[in-house]
Amino acid sequence: MAEMTEATNMETSPVENNNELALITPETQPKRRKKKSMVWEYFTIETVSAGCRRACCNRCKQSFAYSTGSKVAGTSHLKRHIAKGTCPALLRDQYNNQLTPYSPKTGGGEPRKRRYRSPSSPFIPFDQDRCRHEIARMIIMYEYPLHMVEHPGFIAFVQNLQPRFDKVSFNTVQGDCVATYLREKQSLMKLIEGIPGRVCLTLDMWTSNQTLGYVFITGHFIDFEWKLQRRVLNVIMEPYPDSDSALSHAVAACLSDWSLEGKLFSLIFNHPTSEAGLENLRPLLCTKNPLILNGQLLLGNCIARNLSSMAKDVLGAGHEIVKKIRDSVKYVKTSESHDEKFVQVKNQLQVPSEKSLILDNQNQWNTTYQMLAAASELKEVFNCLDTSDPDYKLAPSMEDWKVAETLCTFLKPLFDAASILMTTTNPTAITFFHEAWKIHADLGRSIANDDPFISNIAKSMLEKIDKYWKDCSLILAIAVVMDPRFKMKLVEFSFTKIFGEDAPTYIKIVDDGIHELFLEYVALPLPLTPTYTEEGNVGNNGKTDESQQGNLLSDQGLTDFDVYIMETSSQQMKSELDQYLEESLLPRVQEFDVLGWWKLNKMKYPTLSKMARDILSIPVSAAAPDSVFDIIIKQLDEYRSSLRPETVEALICAKDWLHHGSEESNALVKMEF
């Protein structure tokens, strides 16, 4: 600030002379007091006519009103031009400064010169509240411990960075994180309140070292734009996770918290549940018949856990071979000299593989598969490595490599199927119907293999996929029916291949279930059914146009007419489903957007499109995308287990919501003068 008071403002102002702007000299202009505002580092006053002066930005050359006669406009609008980032020249300079790399000065260079504030570095005031807000966001997004704000190293760093920053305590930052969570929750509440369809929930039970359970509840729904959305809604601590009421208590709390009573379409969970526990969950579903489709709207068979269980069986069958290959990979990857010799041998043998060796994480089976697949392609290098590195004595035998390739053959379809679950933008049930059917068919052929090693692995895997198929194939099938490329035809074809003589029974269950479900949507109050209603609500933000209030077709006074329409046209509405099923299939294209198709055809199928919206939002896995390949039950770490349950929920949910961009980014820097 001393620099500002030392500097004098030698003001030069142009005036009108022969219709041109000329500079006023100090002799021709009355003396005025020095201008102390920092604004005048960025602006020059120009006289454009008698009694009218304007402030011209030195950087972008825009001019602004300053004085007319004796009336002076002040400097607030000039400050905004600089502070709010509306000056394009300043923005450009700031961006270029950010891109300029730091280059430290070496000794013996030119002596340091005193720095003066330049127009490219505007004054940015310190804001304690803003700093606390950013610390809370940082802790949430990167899962730092809340106690870090009390660590001596963090305090010393911040004090050196900004001595004016007031030290914050654990309780303060905990309150800031909860406040961020509550702000984000309000935004998500508005989104969920306005969704036109129903919601599906997945329940992922985590454990802790205190034997407490934490139920991660995730909501899946399709919004007004026909985009699939996924949000973590609650993390609820259950002291007795194995009790019959643990899951139902958590779900009921979630429905109450988000006002979703009567909107729960399906439930998927991965925690072993008794029959009594299932009966506690069924009444929470919104369907009139919770046993529709053999009760498969309530699924306890999470496909991610199923695939992980099968992969664990495959790796267990060849665990000795896996260990040999892991030791060989470890020998190469943990020593730079060994790695160099390995690459040298690979180049000499001209092995065409582009894969790189990786050491697996034994808690995630996909990394073990990738390790085996890469090592198998590089087996020639391992076999010849001892010629360049005499210390290498771990080379697997040719028989070992054959077993490894067999393991990869079984793991690859599981890996491909599980990778589908990583997506969060497309319905997974349709795609997974194909994958589950393909795995089932492949294992059926492998079980007849003459090699007992292969047939035994196939038998173990087939038992698990067969159980999953019988438990979940109906719910997968109705999603396939909602795909205009397949409809009932693929269900009939695949069920015939898998169930044989029993296929007609299962096909009839799907056909009856989808017609029964459709009748529920036909019975909905008519004003909620037409697509134009939901579109009008979006465009008008829930407000009714005054010009329509007197319309004869408004909802007021026509309740009896709605009842009459439902009673007299139920058969006609029912044919909407039959019409869809009877129409020819669409061509099968690779990048088909099924949600986009229903968005385009919602006027043609106003009722069926609402049912499709709910069906296509059904997930097939309760695992989070980053936990799809886990072979162990997720456990809350010791630090988070020590926090209050409400704080744990706030930290986990807020991270998910911030990741989805529910809070607007503050791109412009706040500045004051």
Per-residue model confidence as pLDDT tens digits over 553-580: 445 556 667 666 666 655 554 478 999 9
Q: State the DSSP code for 48.
A: E
pLDDT at 590 over 90: no
Could you give the CA distance from residue 8 to residue 41 in angstroms, rounded to a whole number?
Answer: 10
Q: What three-state secondary structure class fits 534?
A: helix
- pLDDT for 437 equals 86
Which residue do the tokens 């968005």 mark? 599
pLDDT at 17 over 80: no
- pLDDT for 4 equals 42
Q: State the DSSP code for 660.
A: T
pLDDT at 548 over 90: no
The answer to whether the beta carbons of residues 244 and 212 sit under 8 Å apart is: no
The answer to whether the beta carbons of residues 214 and 249 sit under 8 Å apart is: no
- pLDDT for 668 equals 30
pTM of the predicted model as reported, rounded to 2 decimal places: 0.75
- pLDDT for 563 equals 64
Q: Which two tokens stand for residue 658?
A: 């911030």
Q: What average pLDDT does the segment 525-535 reach?
A: 44
Closest CA to 669 of 92, 84, 136: 84
Q: Which residue has the higher pLDDT, 426 or 263?
A: 263
- pLDDT for 585 equals 95
Could you give the CA distance from residue 174 to residue 647 in angstroms, rounded to a whole number?
Answer: 7
Q: What three-state secondary structure class fits 632?
A: coil
359 class by beta-carbon count within 10 Å (0-12 exposed, 13-18 middle, 19+ buried) = middle
Could you give the CA distance from residue 293 to residue 312 in angstroms, rounded to a whole number?
Answer: 31
pLDDT at 614 over 50: yes
252 class by beta-carbon count within 10 Å (0-12 exposed, 13-18 middle, 19+ buried) = middle
Q: What average pLDDT does the segment 197-217 reach?
A: 95
- pLDDT for 340 equals 93
Per-residue model confidence as pLDDT tens digits over 379-438: 999 999 988 889 999 899 999 999 999 999 999 999 999 998 887 677 788 888 988 888
As a three-state string, the secondary structure of 289-348 is CCCHHHHCCEECCCHHHHHHHHHHHHHHHCHHHHHHHHHHHHHHHCCHHHHHHHHHHHHH
Q: Where are the alpha helices (H) located in 194-318, listed in sequence order?
A: 246-257, 275-281, 303-317
Lowest mean pLDDT among 65-74, 461-470, 480-489, 547-556: 547-556
- pLDDT for 79 equals 79
pLDDT at 461 over 80: yes
- pLDDT for 69 equals 74
The answer to whether the beta carbons of residues 596 and 223 sit under 8 Å apart is: no
Amino acid identity for residue 59 in this structure? R
- pLDDT for 370 equals 96
Which residue do the tokens 């892991």 mark? 326
- pLDDT for 85 equals 59
The band of 287, judged by pLDDT with boundaries at 50, 70 and 90, is: confident
The band of 26, judged by pLDDT with boundaries at 50, 70 and 90, is: very low
Q: Give the CA distances from residue 368 to residues 385, 389, 630, in Å, rounded to whole numbers and listed in that order.
A: 22, 25, 11
pLDDT at 243 over 50: yes
The answer to whether the beta carbons of residues 173 and 132 sit under 8 Å apart is: yes
Q: What average pLDDT does the segment 257-264 reach?
A: 93
- pLDDT for 39 equals 78
HSE-up (13 A, CA, CB side) for residue 588: 4
Per-residue model confidence as pLDDT tens digits over 298-320: 887 889 999 999 999 999 999 99
Between CA 91 and CA 101, with CA 97 as vertex, the angle to 5 degrees is 155
**H or E stretch including 49?**
strand 43-49
Q: Over the chain, what is the mean pLDDT?
A: 82
pLDDT at 663 over 50: no
Per-residue model confidence as pLDDT tens digits over 630-641: 999 999 999 999
Lowest mean pLDDT among 52-66, 170-184, 542-556: 542-556
Q: What average pLDDT does the segment 467-496 reach?
A: 92
- pLDDT for 202 equals 95
- pLDDT for 298 equals 85
Could you give the CA distance from residue 77 to residue 84 in angstroms, rounded to a whole number?
Answer: 10
Q: What average pLDDT does the segment 614-622 reach?
A: 93
Could you give the CA distance from residue 360 to residue 375 in angstroms, rounded to a whole number?
Answer: 12
44 class by beta-carbon count within 10 Å (0-12 exposed, 13-18 middle, 19+ buried) = middle
The band of 251, judged by pLDDT with boundaries at 50, 70 and 90, is: very high
Could you give the CA distance from residue 639 to residue 410 in angstroms, rounded to a whole number?
Answer: 39
pLDDT at 97 over 80: no
- pLDDT for 36 equals 60
Q: Give the CA distances from residue 238 to residues 212, 533, 644, in Å, rounded to whole numbers and listed in that order.
A: 6, 41, 13
pLDDT at 186 over 90: yes
Lowest mean pLDDT among 303-307, 587-591, 651-655: 587-591
- pLDDT for 12 equals 40
Which residue do the tokens 């173990």 mark? 460
- pLDDT for 583 equals 94
- pLDDT for 32 equals 52
- pLDDT for 469 equals 86
Proportion of the chain above pLDDT 90, given as a percent: 55
- pLDDT for 558 equals 66
- Taking residue 378's Cβ as centre, other Cβ atoms within 10 Å add up to 23
Q: Give the CA distances from residue 241 to residues 16, 236, 263, 283, 633, in Å, rounded to whole numbers and listed in that order.
A: 84, 11, 25, 20, 13
- pLDDT for 522 equals 87
pLDDT at 24 over 90: no
Contacts of residue 528, defined as CB under 8 A and 6 or more positions apart, other chains included, come to none
Between CA 372 and CA 378, with CA 376 as vertex, the angle to 5 degrees is 120
**H or E stretch including 394?**
none
Question: Which residues sit opposite 201 in a β-bridge?
Answer: 219, 267
- pLDDT for 499 equals 84
- pLDDT for 59 equals 81
